[in-house]
Amino acid sequence: EEIILQTFMVKRSQNKKLFTPVNFKGRWVVLKRRALAYYDSDGERRRERGRIATDSIHTVEQAQLAELSKQIPDGVAENSQYKYPFQVGYTEQNTDYTLYLIVGDHSERLHWIHTIRSLCVCNTRRPRYHPGAWSARRWACCDGERRSAPGCQIATI
């Protein structure tokens, strides 16, 4: 399938398992019509680390991740360049997940957001989202204490 966009980004761990750490990894991210996938490098021997079906995506928005430069360890993609996060919310087997991806400039962030949305026009997009991340048992944006609390911000049409 044709590659629509691909670039190096920093990603936050999705924490699908309950007791895994929040951390940040440099990943090669590839967008195709049917899937958004991330790999450990861009070479031929790259290994796939994760894959999201575009038809499972319900949210594509900017994100605010507090103190990003402190959280991204040195050596992960010369950390300080990566300041512009966005989020991809999706549902897999009745469970909601959010993938946070961080790019090096705002126009690149907007380009990715708009391109992913254009592949999801047939999906039911959620009307609300949380700009911040769920961490330490609350939403960083609104202090909500329920993970399933509806978003505190209105999604962009």
Contacting residues toward ligand 4IP, per CB under 6 A: 11, 13-17, 20-21, 23, 25, 27, 38, 49-50
C-alpha 102, offset from chain centre: 8
Angstrom distance (rounded) from CA 139 to CA 153: 12
Contacts of 140 (CB under 8 A, 6+ apart): 64, 65, 66, 132, 133, 134
Helix (H) or strand (E) holding 70: helix 68-71
Binder of residue 13, out of Zn ion, ligand 4IP, none (CB less than 5 to 8 A by kind): ligand 4IP
* Cβ closest to ligand 4IP, residue 137 vs residue 154: 137
CA angle in degrees (0–180, nearest 5) for 35-49-68: 95
List binders of Zn ion among 138-157 (CB under 5 A). Answer: 139, 141-142, 152
Contacts of 103 (CB under 8 A, 6+ apart): 7, 9, 82, 84, 85, 86, 109, 112
Binder of residue 109, out of Zn ion, ligand 4IP, none (CB less than 5 to 8 A by kind): none
Binder of residue 20, out of ligand 4IP, Zn ion, none (CB less than 5 to 8 A by kind): ligand 4IP
* Cross-strand partners of 50: 38
Angstrom distance (rounded) from CA 132 to CA 143: 10
List binders of Zn ion among 102-131 (CB under 5 A). Answer: 130
* Cβ closest to ligand 4IP, residue 48 vs residue 105: 48
* Cβ closest to ligand 4IP, residue 16 vs residue 33: 16
Binder of residue 25, out of ligand 4IP, Zn ion, none (CB less than 5 to 8 A by kind): ligand 4IP
Binder of residue 142, out of Zn ion, ligand 4IP, none (CB less than 5 to 8 A by kind): Zn ion
**Binding stretches for Zn ion (CB under 5 A):** 130, 139, 141-142, 152
